[in-house]
Every structure is written in C-alpha cells, then in structure tokens.
Structure 1
Amino acid sequence: MLRTATDDDVEIIRELRNQQANRDVSITSHEISAGEHAAWWTKASVDPSRRVLIYTRDGVTAGVVNFFDLDGTAGAWGFFLDADGLAERGETLPAWIELMREATAYAFDELGLDVLTGEVLEHNTVVRQMNRRFRFVEGTPETRYADGRELTVIPISLRKQDRRIQGKS
C-alpha cells in the first residue's frame, strides 16, 4: 500500500535510504546526515511538483517512492526498499513487484501521467531486468560523477499505453 509521507516518516525515510544496499545503487552513495535529510524534507514536503510516498507491507514501512518533476503529463520517479528488513523476512521479491505495480498505477491513474521517467545505474542489472519486466525502455547511457565515483547512468521511460497491467501480459 502507498500512502503520502508525513513529518512522522522523516527519520525512517533517512534510515532506509542509508542502508548500504540502497546506497550501492544510488547516484549519491554517501551516508545522508540528519541535517542534509531535514533540508531535503523541508523542500520536498512543500514542492507541488513532487510526491513522497511510503510503501507499507503488512502494516510495516517497507519502502519509499519519490515522484518528482511532475508537470501534469510527465514526471520522474525513484524508489528504495527496506532492503535489510525485507531480506530478513524473505519478502524482497514480492515486495519489489508489489511496489512497482502500485507505483506505476499511482503515476498513471492517480497523477494522470502519460510518461514516467527515471534513471538506473548501468551496473544495477537486477533493477534493469525488473524495469524491462514492467516495460520500461532504456535510453542512451551517460557518464556522471558523484561522490568521487564515475557512473554510467541509464535513463528509463514508460508510456502509459505501454504499461503492464496486472492480470494482462
């Protein structure tokens, strides 16, 4: 289930984002400080072109979905899961699939987007494979530098009419 993040979620968002598994597949890989995170939330929570959602599974916070650069017909997204907690419970794959289903439905049905975009690191082959399963198309890779690392970042996009709908192929 997805719900809008509130001030009460700020610390759990930071804790999940700082899990090593999430940092390893993020453009910015440093540990986010409380001050840096508070500054981000202060802006994000009032930004009309952004939605921050909490993904819950069986009543437990299990991930975060960020929609940003929303302009009415297009927008970008990213997400991260509670990698540690889901792995411990043996729920990573079903949670990941559920989050992607719910997030893409939210983008197209709730936000009314025609196109959803994002980015994935080239070395993150597991996420790239899942993105293809959900019919995201990869664009031309680009080189970026962040946190002292050279990264190859691949843009992804999904058009509303191309999305995978549960129960259909």
Structure 2
Amino acid sequence: MLRTATDDDVDTIRRLRNQQANRDVSITSHEISADEHAAWWAKTSADPSRRVLIYTRAGATAGVVNFFDLDGTSGAWGFFLDADGLAERGETLPAWIELMREATTYAFDELGLDVLTGEVLEHNTVVRQMNRRFRFTEGTPETRYAGGRELTVIPISLRKENRRRGKA
C-alpha cells in the first residue's frame, strides 16, 4: 500500500535511504546527515511538483517512492526499499514487485501522467532487468561524476499505454 509521507516519516525515510544496499545503487552514495535530510524534506514537502509516498507491507514501512518534476503529463520517479528488513524476512522480491506495480499505477491513474521517467545506474543490472519486466525502455547512457565516482547513468521511461497491467 502507498500513502503520503508525513513529518512523522522523516527519520524512517532517512534510515532506509542510508542503508548500504540503497546507497550502493544511488547517484548520491554518501550517508545522508540529519541536517541534510531535514533541508531536503523542508524543500520537498513544500514543492507541488513532488510527491513522497511510503510503501507499507503487512503494516510495516517497507519502502519510499519519490515522484518529482511533475508537470501534469510527465514526471520522474525513484524508490528504495527497506533492504535490510525485507531481506531478513525473505520478502524482497514480492515487495519490490508490489511497490513497482503500485507506484506505476499511482503515476498513471492518480497523477494522470502520460510518461514516467527515471534513471538507473548501469551496474545495477537487477533493477534494469525488473524495469524491463515492467516495460520501461532505456535511453542513451551518460557519464556523470558524483561523490568522486564516475558513473554511467541510464535514463528510463514508460509510457502509460505501454505499462503492464494486472500481475507483473
């Protein structure tokens, strides 16, 4: 289930984002400080072109979905799971599939988008495979530098009419 994030979720969002598994596949890979996170939340929670959603599974917070650059017909997204907690419970794959299904449904049915975009690091082959399963297409890779690292970033996109429906 997805629900809108509130001020009460800020510490949990930061804790999940700082899990090593999430940092390893993020453009920004350093540990996010409390001050940095508070500044991000203050800006993000007041921005009408953004939505931050909490993904819950069996009553527990299991992930975070960020939608940004929303303009009415298109928008970008990213997400991260509670990698540690889901792995411990053996629920990573079903949670991941459920989050992607719910997030793409939210993007197209709730936000009314025609196209959903995002980015994935080239080395994140597991996410790239899941994206293809959900019918995202990859664009031309680009090189970026972040945190002293050279990264290959691949843009992804999914058009409303191409999305997967029903069970993924």
Q: TM-score, normalised by structure 1?
A: 0.99
* Correspondence 1:7-156 to 2 at 5 A: 7-156=7-156
Runs of 4+ with deviation above 6 angstroms: none
Kindly state the Cα deviation for residue 130 of structure 1 after the two structures are TM-superposed.
Answer: 0.1
Q: 2: CA distance between counterparts of 1:44 and 1:146?
A: 21
Please state how far the C-alpha of 1:56 moved relative to its aligned partner. Answer: 0.1
Give per-residue Cα distances to partners, 1:86-145, cap 9 Å, x unaligned.
Answer: 000000000000000000000000000000000000000000000000000000000000
3-state secondary structure, aligned to 1:64: strand
Equivalent residue pairs, number: 168
**Residue 2 (structure 2) aligns with:** 2
Q: Which amino acid aligns with 2:77?
A: W
Amino acid at match of 1:22: N
Return the letter of the residue paired with 1:104.
T
User: How much does 1:6 deviate?
Assistant: 0.1
TM-score normalised to structure 2 length: 0.99
Deviation (angstroms), 1:76:
0.0
Residue type matched to 1:69 in 2? D
- Name stretches of at least 5 consecutive residues in structure 1 with no aligned partner: none
Q: For 1:35 and 1:42, locate their aligned partners in 2 and report how far apart those are by CA, in whole Å.
A: 11
1:166 is aligned to 166
Q: Once the two structures are superposed, what CA deviation does each residue of 1:21-41 show, in whole Å capped at 9, x if it has no partner? A: 000000000000000000000
Matched residues in 1 for 2:46 and 2:77: separation?
17
Secondary structure of the residue that 1:87 maps to in structure 2? helix
**DSSP-derived class of the 1:116 partner:** strand
Q: Percent of counterpart pairs with the same letter?
A: 89
Counterpart code for 1:77? W
Q: Residues of 1 paired with 2:11 and 2:145: CA distance?
A: 27
Query: Which amino acid in 2 is paired with 1:53?
Result: L
SS of the equivalent of 1:48 reads: coil
- Distance in 2 (CA, whole Å) between partners of 1:157 and 1:4 is 23
